[in-house]
Amino acid sequence: MASVTFEHLTKTYPNGFISVNDVNLHIEDGEFVIFHGPSGCGKSTILRMIGGLEDITSGEIYLGKELLNDVLPRDRRLAMAFQNYTLYKHMNVYENIALGLRLRDLPRTVIDSRVRSASSFLGISDILSRKLRAITDAERQRVALGRAIVCQPKVLLVDEDFARQNEDRRKEMLHDILRINSELGITVLYVTNDLEEALSLNKRIVYMKDGKIVDC
């Protein structure tokens, strides 16, 4: 199961600021859910807590029936597409996509099969041998998505900063993550403060303000 559940999820910083305030929410397996709200409302903090990049002050996060609170980030069946995705310039596209699988010591044949499948899905099979400096920014973004899905995550977390770019490239990115959701069956949680964009996706929207869910 790739459902995601928050139970009384709270994040309070040392200065007393409450970023996420007693949030309860259930996201079904295979859903595409949009978190919308003004800057500072807690939506990105929730994604970072799911990914293990932020400590949880109180409450629980479940992936299916598994409690994630004390699971190391590398052991969570999740993938993250945030602005600061790291691609290694000394590696070619194939090596960048394969990196996470190699770190898991998977057999070479499995790695090759997954890399070629992911690159075909994203339309970047023809650039696998190229270095990062020889590809476009849009292609780099697809390489980052390829490295995310090649590990066969149950959930993909996409922060709005990942798509902070010109309008055409942002539309391409949204098209890619919609396909990842519909064709690969991966649950997607997407953060945006653009209401028009959120409504245009025709998916479930979780509206947040001051650390709380005000509608969903």
Where is average pLDDT lowest: 35-44, 162-171, 183-192?
Answer: 162-171
pLDDT in tens, 86-120: 788 889 999 999 998 998 889 999 999 999 999 99
Return the pLDDT at 113. Answer: 97
pLDDT of residue 2: 86
Name the burial class of residue 183, with classes exposed (0-12), middle (13-18) and buried (19+) by CB atoms within 10 angstroms of its CB.
Answer: exposed
Q: Which domains does the chain have, with CATH numbers?
A: 1-77+154-216 (3.40.50.300), 83-152 (no CATH)
What is the pLDDT confidence band of residue 85, given thresholds at 50, 70 and 90?
low
Q: Looking at residues 169-192, what average pLDDT do you find?
A: 93
**Cross-sheet strand order for the sheet of 4-12:** 18-27, 4-12, 58-63, 66-67
pLDDT tier for residue 74 given thresholds of 50, 70 and 90: confident
Mean pLDDT of the chain: 92
**pLDDT at residue 4, as a whole number:** 97
